[in-house]
Structure 1
Amino acid sequence: MKPILLGLALLLACTSDLRAQTPYYQGKTIRFVVGNTAGGFFDRWARLLARYMPKHIPGNPEIIVQNMPGAGSIVASNYVYAVAKADGLTLGMPNPGLYLDQLVGRPEVKFDLRKFVWIGSPVREPILFYMRSDAPFKSIADIRRAKQPPRCGSTGTASSDYILARLLEETLPPLKIHTVLGYQGGSEIDIGVERGEVQCRGMTASPFFGREPFLTWQKNKFVRALLYTAKQRHPKIPDTPTIWEVFEKEKVPEFSRRIAEVILASEDFGRPIMAAPGTTAEQAKILRAGFSAAIKDPELLAEAQKSKMEVDPVSGEELQQLAHKVLDHPADVIARVKRIMGQ
């Protein structure tokens, strides 16, 4: 009996050792939940990372992409936060301005940005504001003087198009922009621009230089860029002023500029990736390391360059700090942001 028990104990010990040596992600599937429609740069980045991250994660899991558009990615974010299991197998990629919906207290928000486990972002994303060339607006000054405001498309209140429009209205009165909500994704707004449903859009800048229809639009002078939100002008649109140049020219007050900095913090989120609250520290470490290695992978970088996708990564640790920073503001700043965002 004793030899049998000893053998059983050894067998159990060996089995435990084998389990301990088996990578957590081996044989598993990770799901990327993208808060936008297929075809846009959020979707393209998720699919590119889905191809390269597996080889940099022990166990080489499969990664699949699921598009879950709605309410400027609030739907997808609520899902990752409250529905998905905290097992490191569901990752979200929301709009970068998501924090503003929480900051102003929108009732549809069911998440706390600070409790997500942030994995990283492949790029920082300033906003670019473009206008159809046949519209009677050749500059921001023209919009300020207009009796009839331009119509701009938007996917939701966390999207760059909505955020920029409200910011311009607040900091450069009497400027007005009529925002048309309800588009499921950026590609649908682009179709709306071509059809003449809307005339303009505020969008993350890299797709404007990296995909259709924007490449053809620029070549045919179908649209013109009126504003860029980075600190420096973009070399591909050297005649387009930055928002900070416009603020300086129009003598925008310092407090309004501070509000702009809060709202434009979305640039540093870029195209962020997060996991559900409760994801273990070990899983977070593995996912962050996998992202960090993938975004430096020469094959990924070559593919990104070929696809005209800019790479300027932000680490998960940086995003975790940013998620706290963007929600930590004095009451007067939050009140002003709420007013801008219509709350």
Structure 2
Amino acid sequence: MRRNILQLLSVFFMLSAAPVLAQNSFYQGKTVRIIVGASAGGGYDTYSRTIARHIGKHVPGNPTFAVENMPGAGFLISANHMYKVARPDGLTIGHFIGGLFLQQLLGKPGIEFDARKFEYVGAPGQDNYVLGVAKSTGITSIDQWLSSKTIVKLGGVGAGSATDDIPKVLATAIGLPIQLVSGYKGTADVRLAFNSGEVQGVCNSWESFKATWRKEVDSGEVNVVLQNIPKQHPDLPKIPLAISYAKTDEGKKLIRALVHSVGPTARPYMLPPGTPKDRVQILRRAFMDTMKDPEFLADAKKVKLDINALDGAELERNVHAVFDLDPALVPRAKEILK
């Protein structure tokens, strides 16, 4: 009798341990690639390299994580790669700008993915987009800029990127006088163009300004003059909100729908459609465990990265919400963001 009980317990423990052993055996000795849709040195790259240094210890089997940059076409090359080429085996994670989700809804040419079919791992932060202009323009406030009607050259990455889409909306909604110079491979390249005088400003997240434009911000070479978010960021109490300059109901609706919606989906990490659900869950848990890891947080602080994480399920809900855009605004949005 006792022998039978011991045999049953042995079988029970073997069955209980099987899923854990399978998880360990799959990732053990493997390398997980994080494909970043921008060039090295920008915010997307910096977040990814910081995460890659720490997330492996939170995945059963402790795989290696390596970052691969795949810039081009305003993040679109990497996004299409994740949907069409990357194997759905849990060994390739993508990171590109969430503004492409709205571009999918609006029918942007070249989009070959359906954002609603990706498996979302999480997001390290929710971006707060602001507009910065060069000291050399002489512009120190948005009121001065609007009244002077000075045309400022803003650097952009491409349609679907906040660097491009937000200024386009602001040009329509508040009459912002800009000339968009687009096609850079990432905000790191925009920064180089800014420092050489090729462009005079950029719409970027405050988080990226603090992390990768620190020298320009601290020296006063770039002045933040406008916040493109629903409420003021604690760091920027005196910088006005874009929506307060919209004079029409349409302008306010456009800013709420096309600008304020960008931040919560700006920095998604995702897996190809069809990735096994157990591996999705492993990576979701590992991602959120990393976001709470003291060593990761200390590392992020060193490079001025803000961490305000969303888990995979919440990020997925936010992405799906993008597709709930008021149908009445779709034709106008297509016209503005073309």
TM-score (norm 1): 0.88
Q: Is the 8 A contact 2:170 2:255 kept in 1?
A: no
Match of 1:256 in 2: 251
Which amino acid in structure 2 is aligned with residue 311 of structure 1? I
**1:334 alignment partner, one of 330, 333, 336:** 330
The aligned counterpart of 1:64 is 66
How far residue 88 of structure 1 moved from its aligned partner, in angstroms, is 1.1
- Which runs of structure 2 are paired with 1:42-191 in the superposition (5 Å)? 42-146=44-148, 149-173=151-175, 175-191=176-192
Q: Which amino acid aligns with 1:294?
A: T
Fraction of identical pairs, as percent = 32
Residues 227, 240 of structure 2: 8 Å contact kept: yes
Q: How many residues align?
A: 320
Q: Is residue 143–residue 150 contact of structure 1 (8 Å, CA) maintained in 2?
A: no
CA distance in 2: counterparts of 1:21 and 1:309, whole angstroms: 35
**How far does the alpha carbon of each residue in 1:159-204 deviate from its partner, in whole angstroms, 9 at most, with x for none?**
111011111012113x331101121111111111111111110001
What residue number does 1:6 align with? none
Structure 1: gaps of 5 or more residues: 1-13
Quote the residue 1:243 is aligned against. 242
Match of 1:281 in 2: 277
Preserved CA contact (<8 Å) 1:122 1:270: no
State whether residues 294 and 300 of structure 1, in contact with CA within 8 Å, keep that contact through their aligned partners in structure 2.
yes
Q: 2: distance between equivalents of 1:269 and 1:50?
A: 20
Q: Is the 8 A contact 1:123 1:311 kept in 2?
A: yes
Residue 308 (structure 1) shift: 1.4
Describe how 1:4-19 pairs up with structure 2 within 5 A.
none
Match of 1:221 in 2: 220
1:299 deviates by: 0.7
Q: Is the 8 A contact 1:128 1:227 kept in 2?
A: yes
Q: Secondary structure at the match of 2:93?
A: strand
Which residue of 1 is the match for residue 6 of structure 2?
none
Rounded to whole Å, the distance in 2 between the matches of 1:135 and 1:180 is 16
Deviates more, 1:324-333 or 1:103-112: 324-333
Look up the match of 2:35: 33
| Secondary structure of 2:139 counterpart | coil
Q: Cα offset for 1:328?
A: 2.2
Match of 1:3 in 2: none
**Which of residues 260, 266, 271 in structure 2 aligns to 1:270?**
266
What residue is the counterpart of 1:324 in the other structure? Answer: 320
Q: What amino acid sits opposite 1:280 in the alignment?
A: P
Provide Cα deviations, 1:101-156, integer angstroms capped at 9, x if missing partner.
21211121000000011110001101110001121433334443455521111111
Aligned-partner Cα distance in 2 for 1:39–1:78: 22
- Distance in 2, matches of 1:106 and 1:242, equals 28
CA shift for structure 1 position 220: 2.4
Superposed CA RMSD: 1.9
- 1:201-247 Cα distance to aligned partner (Å, 9 max, x none): 00011121223xx3222332212111112333233333211223333
Unaligned runs of at least 5 residues, structure 2:
1-13
Judge which range, 315-324 or 232-241, deviates more: 232-241
Q: Name the CA distance, whole Å, in 2 between partners of 1:45 and 1:218.
A: 19
Provide the C-alpha distance between the structure 2 equivalents of 1:231 and 1:198, rounded to a whole number of angstroms.
Answer: 27
Cα displacement (A) at 1:21: 2.6
Distance change >3 Å, CA 75–CA 233, structure 1 → 2 = same
Does the 8 A contact of 2:174 with 2:251 survive in 1? no
